[in-house]
Amino acid sequence: MSKPDSHIEGVYGPEGARQANRRTDSTRIGRRDFLIALASATAAGCAGVHRAAPWTSSGVRPNILLIFVDDLGYADLGCQGAGDLKTPYIDSLARTGIRFTSGYVTAPLCSPSRAALMTGRYQQRFGHEYNTGNIQRQQTEDIGLPLSQATLADALKNHGYATGVIGKWHLGAQDKFHPQRRGFDEFFGFLGGGHSYFEWDDSRRTPILRGIEIVRGDEYLTDAFSREAVDFVHRHKDRPFFLYLSYNAVHTPMQAPQEYLDRFPGIPDPTRRTMAAMLSALDDGVGRVLQALQEDGTEKDTLIFCISDNGGTAGPNASVNQPLRSGKGHMYEGGIRVPFIVRWPRMLPAGIVVDSPVSTLDVFPTAFAAAGGALDECSSLDGVDLSPYLKGDVMPPPHQSLFWRMGANSAARKGDWKLVKAAPGKPELYDLSADIAEAHDVAQARPDILRELEGEYSRWNAANVEPAWHVLRLSGAGARGTAR
């Protein structure tokens, strides 16, 4: 597919500097990085990533399409109750798949949330507890997804999958953390935590890259990511692929083309209107990717996840987490409970809503098992394969308990009980079955439950390590790293 709005401009980073005086060629660079990725595909705690896989009982190894949205609030989809926003294509995923009303991320911030998503492990197990700080800090300090950890891309690549990431990386900006050294064959996007949607060569952040080559253009970035995703789908229609489509929308800066803004003349708040426009562009992109899968005849054999990386931020991007309390950066439900949709027409039921808690920790084992991977060889994974549960083969909920920790702030959920420690306050306890808004602290009324959850948290926490880096600044009651 042609790319009329972009062209290769240079190479990025120290590795790029060494290549800057030589003719660059995307095929050569890609092959070189492919070999690097093979050599560096570490597999901490998951021996199975290096084994050849049997085919699944369906006889089909599905494509894995992981759509990760940035800072999308719990109520910011039509299928989640939004009245002013329009998300028909994402809604169609829910209508033809499974919508989880208690889907969680492992952190209320971008980078640590992605560290768990990519590894299937609580990020506190390996020190990726805090956000990364700004791009200058990421380039000068040893900050990124630890090389000791295998990624889902490592696992699927070793099972014969074509692997690609399009969009925001935010798991390290140095050469050694580059996605093509973490199991991905292909990368189109940016390494930091945020980016202008119009200025591809935004000097305050990292450039847009294809592999390690700087690409310049002026296409609306969300549209560019969708176009690249469609291209990836078509190019890999004859073999199973893993595409991590990591949109930076609807993260700040709030920027949208007029054609998308014109779709929402009735939204009076300008930030909310821009957010609606940004999300509408993203939703159109999801529609284009679905259309591409249809054209290739692979739609039924594609396992799709569509999840937000953390809760919304009412101020910066006018997102809405109702009826949940608080938002991004906080351990209340609004920071960690997010839109969470899974769809696999060939194998999973359609149009159902599940309230049992699930986690982005489950993406790795669910995808890996679907690909024929042997989970019994992945002893360190904290997530579970959701497929047996969703197909009705296993009746108990996937998780008895879930836990969160970011510095002095922490939380635990067991059943409908939720423990929150928002430093420097006292522990709080909520009954989510009666109080999803966490408005009524019952810690004093139920000291027995409080002690039980604190005990479970302590046992979970005993297996964690110290943070590998710390935040440079604190904001409000929580240790909130800068978003980019």
Site for Ca ion, rule CB under 5 A: 70-71, 110, 309-310
Separation CA 102–CA 80 (nearest Å) = 12
CA 354 from chain center: how many Å? Answer: 20
Q: How far is the CB of 406 from Ca ion (least distance, A)?
A: 14
Of the candidates 110, 128, 195, 399, the residue annotated as catalytic is 110
Q: Tokens representing 128?
A: 């990726």
CA distance 7 to 249: 23
Question: Cβ 75 to Ca ion, closest distance in Å?
Answer: 16
Task: Give the residue from 76, 91, 79 showing the smallest Cα distance to 267.
Answer: 76
Closest approach of Cβ 132 to Ca ion, in Å? 12
Q: Which is nearer to Ca ion, 19 or 131 (CB)?
A: 131
CB 251 to Ca ion: min, Å: 6
Residues 6+ apart with CB under 8 A from 103: 307, 337, 338, 339, 340, 357, 358, 359, 360
What residue is closest to Ca ion based on CB?
A: 110
Q: Which is nearer to Ca ion, 71 or 385 (CB)?
A: 71
| Beta carbon of residue 70, minimum distance to Ca ion (angstroms, whole number) | 4
Toward Ca ion, which CB reaches closer, 320 or 378? Answer: 320
Phi, psi of 410 (to 5 degrees): -155, 170
In order of 52, 145, 291, 383, the CA distances from 469 in angstroms are: 36, 11, 42, 24
| Closer to Ca ion by Cβ: residue 244 or 344 | 244
Active site residue: 46, 128, 159, 170, which one?
A: 170
Q: Residue 84's closest CA among 254, 272, 253?
A: 272
Contacts of 303 (CB under 8 A, 6+ apart): 62, 63, 64, 65, 342, 343, 344, 347, 366, 367, 370
> Is 306 one of the catalytic residues?
no
Instruction: For tokens 């119009």, name the residue.
Output: 198
Give the shortest CB-146-to-Ca ion separation in angstroms. Answer: 20
**DSSP states of 54-86 as a string?**
PPPTTS---EEEEEEESS--TT-SGGGT-SS--
Pick 96 or 317: Cβ nearer Ca ion: 317
Query: Is 110 designated active site?
Result: yes
Q: In the numeric block, which tokens belong to residue 106?
A: 């492992």
Question: Which H helix or E strand runs over 294?
Answer: helix 270-296
> Which CB, 16 or 167, lies closer to Ca ion?
167
Q: Please give the Cα distance from 57 to 80 (Å, whole number).
A: 33
Question: Which residues carry out catalysis?
Answer: 110, 170
